[in-house]
Amino acid sequence: MKYALNRNIFNLVLKIVDNMADDAPMSETPTLAEKVSTELTTAIVRGELKPGARVSEQMLVEKYGGSRAPMREAIQKLEARHLLIRIPHAGARVVSLTLAELRDIYEVRVELESMACRLAAERMTDVEIAELQQLLQNHEDSIKAEQGQSYYQKAGDLDLHYRLIRGSKNDRLHQMLCGELYHLVRMYRYQTSTSEKRPLQALQEHQRIVEAIAARDAELAELLMRRHIQTSLRNLEQLLAEEEGRA
């Protein structure tokens, strides 16, 4: 029962982040290749397909139906998102990030998201900022109400980051962050683990960030966001070190 609830919340979180990376046309009659590529994406992000696992065209045909042509296209789409790595004549594998590569990704993410925060402070409308404050108020209430429901906090965390990125009003920036980097971060679930550890601290950091934005203090907002993500990077590295020691 409790697990079932958590799974629902987990799906909610996935949905929110999926909306962040809403690069799929979502047309009325989606192509088979599109359907398969979105299914494959969630399968990889959820860990049903583990890093390093081979993804052959035949396998996808058996799993999703259809012929090899659309499967091939789906694989190529995921290669473009850096979720699969394709080697000519040899096939595709789920990307398997080394620690160094994950650090590289976080390094870029820190830079781009703090930039997004700076731009958001300059460009968000007053209405959008008010909605931001409302969102944080809701988070605070839910945290005070149920200490254990860290999933809500995680969803809120993602939602806030999402709004700030959109608030930058820079579509290319949004595309790079949500369409490329976040998939990989999600996939390793590190973000999940880390944010669970410090829900209240994260909320306070968020509050300061939104305060800075409300004051239109772009420099401060950028600095605070930079620290906020760098903290989560340090948590991530600590987690990796622990996992390394265990293995």
Judged by the rule CB under 8 A, the positions of this chain that interact with its own copies are 25, 27, 30-31, 34, 69, 72-73, 76-77, 79-80, 87-88, 101, 104-105, 107-108, 111-112, 115, 119, 170-173, 176, 180
- Could you write out the DSSP letters of every residue in the chain? -HHHHHHHHHHHHHHHHHHHT--S---SS--HHHHHHHHHHHHHHHTSS-TT-EE-HHHHHHHH-S-HHHHHHHHHHHHHTTSEEEETTTEEEE----HHHHHHHHHHHHHHHHHHHHHHHHH--HHHHHHHHHHHHHHHHHHHH-TT-HHHHHHHHHHHHHHHHHHTT-HHHHHHIIIIIHHHHHHTTHHHHHHHH-HHHHHHHHHHHHHHHHTT-HHHHHHHHHHHHHHHHHHHHHHHHHHHHH-
The residue from 1, 2, 88, 98 that contacts DNA (CB under 7 A) is 88
Q: Judged by CB, which is closer to DNA: 92, or 132?
A: 92
Q: How many residues at the interface with DNA, by CB under 7 A?
A: 23
Q: How far is the CB of 28 from its own copies (least distance, A)?
A: 10
Residue 73 interacts with DNA (CB under 7 A): yes or no: yes
Q: Judged by CB, which is closer to DNA: 16, or 30?
A: 30
Stretch that binds DNA, among 4-12, 55-63, 120-128, 160-168 (CB under 7 A): 55-63
The residue from 17, 41, 49, 70 that contacts DNA (CB under 7 A) is 70
Q: Which does 56 bind (CB under 5 to 8 A by kind): DNA, its own copies, none?
A: DNA
Q: How far is the CB of 181 from DNA (least distance, A)?
A: 26
Q: Judged by CB, which is closer to DNA: 57, or 237?
A: 57
Q: Which of 14, 65, 79, 15 is nearest to 36 (CA)?
A: 65
Q: Judged by CB, which is closer to DNA: 73, or 128?
A: 73
CA distance 78 to 211: 38
Residue 69 interacts with DNA (CB under 7 A): yes or no: yes
Residue 49 interacts with DNA (CB under 7 A): yes or no: no
Q: Judged by CB, which is closer to its own copies: 85, or 239?
A: 85
